[in-house]
Amino acid sequence: MLNLTHARSFVTVIAARGVRAAARQLDLAPSTIVDHIRQLEEVLAAPLVVRQRGGAMPTDQGARFLPLARSLVETASRVRSLIHLPVLRLAASSNVGTYLLQPHIAVFRQRAGVPVEQWIGSNADVAARLERGEADVAAMEWWDGRPGFTARTWTREPLVVIVGPDHRWARLGSVSVAELQGEPLLGGESGTGTGYLLRQQLGPLAKSLTIIDGFGNTEAVKRAVRAGHGASIVMEASVADEVATEQLVALRIEGAQLAKEIKLIVPESLPPTAPAMAMFEASLSWERGLTI
């Protein structure tokens, strides 16, 4: 079993280019550092350090081990800080983190007095971070019900069709599915669950829609729609500013109630006193439109 103290000594010897310099940095005796390296080499059954006139250098095996050793030492340091400091690691899918969560995070941080570390990325990457233990709570546009976690619907966010102010639909207020079939619909980030929702609500008609993917994110989609390249279907909150300033027009789809259930997810094993549980409980007031 690798010893983290030994790994730290190895990393420091290579960074300081010598045993004596590493000993000074770590406030240890040089003989202790040498013993750490020896024990580490015994565990790995390979020489890791060669001492030359110019200083200590990694062997070929040591060079391969070095990035892993650094990662182990950095992870151990991060674990200690997370345990001893109340911090909430929040991972949110792109649109949820950008357009919905920020006001609530600000209020939570102020009222609960807990620092919030935010990470925003794709829905799939958020789920992966949560499963790897790199996030305490996740906010996503979908959740697949994988075991070991508790999920709650925070809010339902309507979806709207957006077009530019000069588009032929701009004064209609709503459009039919038949009209959507003849219009290019620009798609942003993949894996958001919008396609699944369209199939669920529109049935076979969803297959007749012309989806043009590849725009990467909602901001790129909005700019393309404003430029007249087509329409799109997005969360209403994501275009609130552009609709208010008349840069875009938001339309309803006739005969369909399109809305995403935004989920908050936490590990089942979290203790009740964890900061993530405080945010999880606070979300009950968010969905009622209240402040914490």
Q: What is the mean pLDDT of each run of 10 residues along the chain (292 residues)?
A: 92 94 94 95 94 86 94 81 72 94 88 89 93 92 91 92 95 91 87 82 82 89 94 94 96 89 90 81 62 40
Would you state the structure tokens that stand for residue 272, as one six-digit string?
A: 């009740």
- Structure confidence at residue 251 (pLDDT): 96
Number of Cβ within 10 Å of residue 273's Cβ equals 8
For residue 95, CA distances in Å to 78, 119, 186, 207, 285 come to: 28, 12, 16, 24, 21
DSSP-assigned beta bridge partners for residue 152 = 264
E strands, the chain, where?
A: 49-52, 55-58, 88-93, 116-121, 137-140, 149-163, 174-175, 185-186, 211-212, 232-235, 249-253, 259-267
Instruction: Give the sign of the dihedral formed by CA 28, CA 7, CA 89, CA 84.
Output: negative
- Structure confidence at residue 84 (pLDDT): 53
CA atoms of 209 and 46, how far apart (whole Å): 60
The verdict on pTM exceeding 0.85 is: no
- Structure confidence at residue 83 (pLDDT): 62
For residue 196, CA distances in Å to 113, 162, 171, 260 come to: 38, 19, 28, 10
CA atoms of 209 and 21, how far apart (whole Å): 66
Single-letter amino acid, residue 75: T
- Structure confidence at residue 286 (pLDDT): 64
Chain mean position to CA 153:
18
CA atoms of 34 and 122, how far apart (whole Å): 45
